[in-house]
Structure 1
């Protein structure tokens, strides 16, 4: 795919007959300067943006050189139109550059708490540890609003605090895990519930308490303000309804409840009385006092510590039509909403960035083409990268590429909908990324002809159930999607509720090719949720905690998805020549029992499961039919048929190797061939790409079996 490299380089190189201009920006500069030489830099990125329209600069190739230090935005850096030649905002000579939506708070303004009324509210263990600062004395009076979050809401954060780049969190109880709801006196759609803890005697004097939980389903989280706490009845009244209502919970961190034991658990937060460990804080909005137990090695603050609070919403935004802009090699952080956002853009390159400590997605670009996000670190956000583009009706590809990124800890506050990567539309490519440690999905997708390959995805769905590390749902039309050459592992169910899967084709999603992947130590490796025409081949399925592949026929037993599926079908020209030539089975769907799971194929895979030799779990009765699920020519292995599973080395040996050669099945993708190919993030923080090589000596081949 050499054309991709040419495109990437083309975004950074002068085009046509334009000259090259450099604009210098320094925190020590002045916006009264010309900015055109290193000795006279301007002070702000917005002034540099304005200079792009100046005579002698406009219509030339421009490098906006960001000099080392902290560039604190006073407002969103806002672009309104396309540039005729490339404009690049980059770290000058790879210096350490931080562009923030926040403000530094001098550490000498922090003092230990002496107010007896505050000390009495604090837990005894933290009274000597908690420090306070009067934010108005530091010039900060915009505290933002406490708002709902969770379940696909785009979160705009309240004022947050970061110490040495590490986020603090509002004080909560419990510090980890959840409390069960014991009863719901007002019924499912009421606002009142009871619980069992005497800790609530400490909560009754809180000024602005909130609660967060999985109130009804274990796949739907929600936050709500608390209007009343009755510590005698151990009863909370919420200020507003939750998304699906309330139910009694059966959450037990020591014993995982079954499939039908959904939701019904919560925690409380924004409570001074629960500020009991490093990294927690509380802001009294009535007087502007912020209280924090510093998450530093010493547990206190000195002049070497960096304390930043977030102030502005979006860091960078682009209006419809904006194009030919590159952002390269610096850190973007501490904004209350998104890092880089826009709609209807073209030719945007985001490269070697460190995007962190945001209230929502690091990059969120919709309806756009030729967007490239590469070699970035994106973490401590509420969502990683969300991009869609292309034209579904004409099947015109977007040319969007997300590659060689390291994306992790992307559901910092809340869970469901804050994915590491989300794509939609046509012809998006997601490849060579390392996605891990998310509360919900790693890669959510929709649309047509998307390629998801060579990714390393693990430890997703860690705080939810009914989740897939790679996840799509409720669409017959989203054909042409390929998931290949990925390593997907450690996607397990830690919460009550439905099962978690490595790849989840939910609610009759159809037409996906899943091939050449390696799965290990997931609850289920792959799920086909009643969909059609899915092909699963050439994969390694190693040691699921439940079953390797789970399939069902939900469309046969329920019509709950039918309206959504049919409406999407009718919205697209699926019988037109363009569509019918490409997806002939879709064009004929109306004449082939559309609600039945027709045409799925599972073949030429290698399976090993410690709990038994089963390949497929059929979750609905009456679906073991070849026209539904054609399961054939798979190999049932033993651990000895792989080189070194403990070291993620699943090369075939023994009977598996013999079988694979007979069937012309390719060797599994190596762990060293997935994930970023190059160091990620700005130059100053780059680390070498780790390599994993097998060092153990495999056992003899006598233990392998053929089935």
Structure 2
């Protein structure tokens, strides 16, 4: 291709240049990523493997209707990687959506006459029109299948026509439910939904920490009841929060839409008369399988029906200076890779979470060293609202460092496994719509030890408040159901209810933290002693099920976690040896130990209290006050938001995603 021995092989992707003849220049130009990969496979051979191969995207939109796969054969070397690179101005967008064509058809006769003249019709492409449903069952423990379709304008995702337009309705009286698969609806509204072919119910059905979406079978005329295709996972309660969506009779607000499944037409009320309308079609944009030494930089991934990018196996697959936005699933999913992750990027408006990191081998405590660092992760749970985390980590040796995580109804970071580092993050305005949840969460695996939570700034994590709503219960760091062996040190908690909560675990260390207007600073219960459960050695005991899956008595594990190796003979249900020392407790209640936990089996020492604190409105106020009160080194998480915005490229991406304005 005319390169010198040290020059990279460069292939430019420009959809506008598809018909240009090939030229013998230092850079080849093709029309799409598939063509670029085909060319790479032909020319990146032999001695050429000593050079990087760069696929360079022109600015503008690159549309995907199917998943592009990058396999082991595209592996580079540490000093000569495969690089996928966006334009220097940050304008390269890899999109899983296609524009829709406006069409002139009669609006459905059942549509409310008051809105008929505002409704516009668009024809869907076959791949979207043929989807059996617009929605998908969402339930908190596991990722959902790709959504049927989503619609977008320039502002972002549009809303399937719903009721109520904002907020929640409530399940009616329990005695009127009849059976779990029938919902009693308030106010007689259900008669409007008779005959709807693709109606969905979404809400906190049965628990305020379990959001679920379920297809409705029918509305039963005159009964104020709505049938469901299946019962919710948890038994319904009167007063449970819910909304109903994709009902033609509820198409009444700008930004709402409804699909006619028989005709393949969508009817919507536009938010803008000038914005084009697009529908998502690609299930996933890019799947990287087994490849090593791949660098993806300067690209925006958007509008897929499922996860945007998946990385399975491989090593050193790194995304930097990227944006993930308006995805129906998760942004980046890394499973089984090593030394792979995300840095200096923005993740916003995800459907079911930001980044998932899995890797390492627990039996040998082999680290994966996957990471998320120096990034913004905000509004990452818009479709599935519970256990759809900004970052979920599982395995051995992950790190989540230097990020800003905000604006979500449930968790920020969830970890399982061993020896992770969660450090220097700023976390706020999370767990803002749920109960019995925490900003950083782990639970139900007493063998998941060795994680360090250090130098984070966690603030403004308080219970949701609403008219007629019971008081919710939230936490900062939540070690649930006997979670043990975690170190929580050098963090600052400001206006956080129950900032550190130990649910029956042991060998947790809480040291040198600052708690400001955050009460109680530490809570420990002894649920292992007082809650009913299956016997310790039976498979039905959820607290200890995972203990039987790892070699806790092996030489390796016993040297790393000596107390864990002795647990079978060490009163295994007791909350013990938790350490709470050298903490500063300001305008807050101190530790609370009870409900089955014995204070004499904990180590509480060296803590200092201050009764009052001046008003703290900004990170600078807090930093100044902490310095004046003897803190020589401030946690890196304080004003991480401002620090990240010092990076010009990251600031531009954050601004484009609506991060950093008044919603800060």
Common fold: TM-score over 0.5: yes
In structure 1, distance between residues paired with 2:553 and 2:661: 48
Whether contact under 8 Å (1:383, 1:419) holds in the other structure is yes
Whether contact under 8 Å (2:130, 2:264) holds in the other structure is no
1:61-80 equivalent positions in 2, closer than 5 A: 61-80=52-71
2:489 equivalent in structure 1: 515
Whether contact under 8 Å (1:392, 1:425) holds in the other structure is yes
1:700 equivalent in structure 2: none
1:273 equivalent in structure 2: 249
Whether contact under 8 Å (2:497, 2:520) holds in the other structure is yes
Q: Does 1:346 align with 2:319?
A: no
Deviation at 1:309, TM superposition (A): 1.1
Q: Which of 553, 573, 577 pairs up with 1:595?
A: 573
Whether contact under 8 Å (1:182, 1:248) holds in the other structure is yes
Deviation at 1:312, TM superposition (A): 1.2
In structure 1, distance between residues paired with 2:22 and 2:651: 28
Distance change in 2, residues 1:559/1:24 (3 Å): same
Q: Which of 624, 633, 638 pairs up with 1:671?
A: 638
Q: Which string of whole-angstrom CA distances, capped at 9 and with x for unpartnered residues, describes residues 495-536 of structure 1?
A: 647621111101110011111111122222111011001111
Whether contact under 8 Å (1:478, 1:510) holds in the other structure is yes
1:230-629 equivalent positions in 2, closer than 5 A: 230-249=220-239, 264-296=240-272, 300=273, 302=274, 305-319=275-289, 321-381=290-350, 382-494=352-464, 496=470, 499-544=473-518, 547-560=520-533, 562=536, 563-609=541-587, 614-620=589-595, 622-627=596-601, 629=602
In structure 2, distance between residues paired with 1:510 and 1:214: 29
Whether contact under 8 Å (1:194, 1:234) holds in the other structure is yes
Distance change in 2, residues 1:55/1:617 (3 Å): same
1:63-212 equivalent positions in 2, closer than 5 A: 63-82=54-73, 83-85=75-77, 86-106=81-101, 109=102, 115=107, 117-118=108-109, 120-122=110-112, 124=114, 126-136=115-125, 141-143=129-131, 145=133, 146-155=135-144, 156-184=146-174, 190-212=180-202
SS at match of 2:568: helix
In structure 1, distance between residues paired with 2:645 and 2:119: 44
Q: Does 1:21 align with 2:9?
A: yes
SS at match of 1:415: coil
SS at match of 2:218: strand
Whether contact under 8 Å (2:389, 2:413) holds in the other structure is yes
Whether contact under 8 Å (1:94, 1:683) holds in the other structure is no
SS at match of 1:475: coil
Distance change in 2, residues 1:34/1:578 (3 Å): farther
In structure 2, distance between residues paired with 1:600 and 1:490: 26
Q: Does 1:52 align with 2:40?
A: yes
SS at match of 1:121: coil
In structure 2, distance between residues paired with 1:440 and 1:135: 34
Whether contact under 8 Å (1:31, 1:44) holds in the other structure is no
Whether contact under 8 Å (1:209, 1:271) holds in the other structure is yes
In structure 2, distance between residues paired with 1:670 and 1:91: 30
SS at match of 1:88: strand
Whether contact under 8 Å (2:13, 2:31) holds in the other structure is yes
In structure 2, distance between residues paired with 1:488 and 1:35: 56
Whether contact under 8 Å (2:426, 2:639) holds in the other structure is no
Distance change in 2, residues 1:78/1:143 (3 Å): same
1:258 equivalent in structure 2: none
Q: Which string of whole-angstrom CA distances, capped at 9 and with x for unpartnered residues, describes residues 177-203 of structure 1?
A: 222222345879631232321333322
Task: Answer with 674-683 or 223-232: which moved more.
Answer: 674-683
In structure 2, distance between residues paired with 1:276 and 1:36: 57
Distance change in 2, residues 1:673/1:409 (3 Å): closer
Q: Which string of whole-angstrom CA distances, capped at 9 and with x for unpartnered residues, describes residues 571-614 of structure 1?
A: 212122222222111122222211100100112111233xxx52
Whether contact under 8 Å (1:21, 1:61) holds in the other structure is yes
SS at match of 2:387: coil
Q: Which of 614, 618, 643 pairs up with 1:647?
A: 618
Q: Unpaired runs of 5+ in structure 2?
A: none
In structure 2, distance between residues paired with 1:377 and 1:426: 25
Distance change in 2, residues 1:188/1:84 (3 Å): farther
Q: Which string of whole-angstrom CA distances, capped at 9 and with x for unpartnered residues, describes residues 409-455 of structure 1?
A: 11111211211001111111110111111121110111111100110
Distance change in 2, residues 1:520/1:238 (3 Å): same
1:259 equivalent in structure 2: none
Distance change in 2, residues 1:637/1:670 (3 Å): farther
Q: Which string of whole-angstrom CA distances, capped at 9 and with x for unpartnered residues, describes residues 293-320 of structure 1?
A: 2233xxx2x2xx343210010111122x
In structure 2, distance between residues paired with 1:680 and 1:91: 16
Distance change in 2, residues 1:97/1:670 (3 Å): closer
In structure 1, distance between residues paired with 2:331 and 2:649: 13
Q: Which string of whole-angstrom CA distances, capped at 9 and with x for unpartnered residues, describes residues 593-637 of structure 1?
A: 11100100112111233xxx52123351x534221x322222221
Task: Please report the RMSD computed on the Cα atoms of aligned residues, expressed in angstroms.
Answer: 2.9
Whether contact under 8 Å (1:189, 1:245) holds in the other structure is no
In structure 1, distance between residues paired with 2:84 and 2:650: 13
In structure 1, distance between residues paired with 2:522 and 2:407: 23
SS at match of 1:241: coil
In structure 1, distance between residues paired with 2:660 and 2:409: 25
In structure 2, distance between residues paired with 1:97 and 1:165: 18
Total equivalences in the alignment: 636
In structure 1, distance between residues paired with 2:644 and 2:430: 18
Whether contact under 8 Å (1:22, 1:37) holds in the other structure is no
Whether contact under 8 Å (1:441, 1:460) holds in the other structure is yes
Whether contact under 8 Å (2:504, 2:597) holds in the other structure is no
Distance change in 2, residues 1:123/1:560 (3 Å): farther
Distance change in 2, residues 1:27/1:669 (3 Å): closer
Task: Answer with 382-391 or 600-609: which moved more.
Answer: 600-609
In structure 1, distance between residues paired with 2:23 and 2:432: 48
Deviation at 1:487, TM superposition (A): 0.9
Q: Which string of whole-angstrom CA distances, capped at 9 and with x for unpartnered residues, describes residues 107-143 of structure 1?
A: xx266x853x44x42373x43433221225x996344
